């Protein structure tokens, strides 16, 4: 499975946008980019996923580089409830269906 | 449907005892996954079911671990002869999948196992 690289931690201020980066230089053409987040004492929560085009949903936006070797999860206005560990994961279509989690980025949101 | 349900939420057991956890996935989801998570680490994949068939098992799943999904509905994960190293959060997730289509997972809140 292709590997992703994320910063260990980031800080943001409440009501400001947050850009969480992810590098995946060994991504293959059939790898989907998934983002999950995990709040303390809870299971991971699906945020967004995409293949080639940028994606938007009610939680966040996913910006995918043209060469697909990196992506950015964008939280448009951070709230205190967005403080969590954010995982960027590649999932290969058509092969195993499992998600392989790394250690993610711990996002702290300051009031 | 209220999401993925896992029971119990917490389990404390003595070393050497057997434990069983249950996962009730979202009813229309045909795929079910078990993960294990220790403090400070991301979840580690254990096993995957599509309907009632167990299609993949991690090398982490030693012969003391067994998982079932009878009739493709709920699933159980049993650990025999528990060891202190089995202490972790056990997470269940489900998703709907058709062919090579890609869909998000829904995770339960997990069962926290403490082996004393």
Structure tokens, B9: 């939420």
Whether the CB of B33 is below 8 Å from some CB of chain A: the reply is yes
CB-based burial, B52-88: b 16+ in 10 Å, e otherwise: eebeeebeebeeebbbebeebebbebebeebeeebbb
> A102 — contact with chain B (CB < 8 Å)?
yes
Residue A88's closest CA among A38, A40, A52, A54? A38
Quick: pLDDT tens for B79-110.
999 999 999 999 999 998 766 566 789 999 99
Do the bridges between strand B31-37 and strand B88-95 make them parallel or antiparallel, or are there none, so unpaired? antiparallel
Q: Does residue A95 have a pLDDT over 90?
A: no
Check if A36 contacts B (Cβ < 8 Å). yes
Q: What is the pLDDT of residue A41?
A: 87
pLDDT of res. A99: 86
Cβ distance B109 to A93 less than 8 Å, yes or no, reads no
The 10s digit of each residue's pLDDT in A20-40 is 999 999 998 888 999 999 998
Cβ within 8 Å, pair A103-B4: no
Q: CB-based contacts of A74: which residues, under 8 Å, 6+ apart?
A: A17, A18, A19, A20, A60, A61, A62, A63
Do B45 and A100 count as a contact with CB atoms less than 8 A apart? yes
Whole-number pLDDT of residue A64? 97
Angstrom distance (rounded) from CA B8 to CA B25: 14
pLDDT for residue B89:
97
Locate A45 and state its tokens. 């929560």
Q: How many contacts, defined by CB atoms under 8 Å, are there between A and B?
A: 60
pLDDT at residue B2, as a whole number = 74
* Residues 6+ positions from A14 with CB-CB distance below 8 Å: A78, A79, A80, A109, A110, A111
Q: Does B77 have pLDDT greater than 90?
A: yes
Residues 6+ apart with CB under 8 A from B36: B43, B44, B46, B60, B88, B89, B90, B91
The answer, for A49 touching chain B at a CB cutoff of 8 Å, is yes
Question: Mutate which of B29, B43, B67 to test chain A, going by most A C-beta atoms within 10 A?
Answer: B43
Q: How far apart are the first and last CA of chain A?
A: 38
Across the interface, do A102 and B42 touch by the CB < 8 Å criterion?
Answer: yes
- pLDDT at position A83, please? 97
What is the CB neighbour count within 10 angstroms for residue A59? 15
Span B17-41, pLDDT tens digits: 999 999 999 998 999 999 999 998 9
* Residues A43, B95: C-beta atoms closer than 8 Å: no
């Amino acid at each position: 499975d292709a590997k992703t690289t994320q910063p260990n931690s980031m800080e943001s201020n409440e009501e400001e946008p947050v850009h969480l980066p992810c590098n995946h230089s060994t991504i293959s053409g059939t790898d989907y980019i998934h983002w999950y987040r995990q709040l303390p004492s809870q299971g991971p929560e699906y945020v967004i996923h995409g293949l080639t085009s940028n994606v938007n949903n009610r939680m966040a936006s996913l910006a995918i580089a043209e060469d697909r070797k990196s992506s950015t999860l964008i939280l448009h206005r951070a709230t205190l409830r967005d403080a969590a560990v954010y995982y960027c994961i590649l999932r290969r279509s058509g092969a195993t269906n499992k998600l392989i989690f790394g250690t993610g980025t711990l996002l702290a949101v300051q009031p | 449907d209220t999401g993925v349900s896992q029971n119990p939420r917490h389990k404390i057991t003595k070393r050497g005892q057997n434990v069983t956890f249950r996962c009730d996935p979202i009813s229309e989801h045909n795929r079910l996954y078990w993960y294990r998570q220790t403090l400070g680490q991301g979840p580690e994949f254990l096993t995957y079911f599509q309907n009632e068939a167990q299609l993949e098992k991690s090398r982490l799943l030693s012969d003391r671990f067994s998982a079932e999904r009878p009739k493709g509905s709920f699933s159980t994960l049993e650990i025999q002869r528990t060891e202190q190293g089995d202490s972790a959060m056990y997470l269940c997730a489900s998703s709907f999948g058709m062919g090579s289509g890609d869909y998000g997972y829904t995770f339960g809140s997990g069962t926290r196992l403490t082996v004393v």
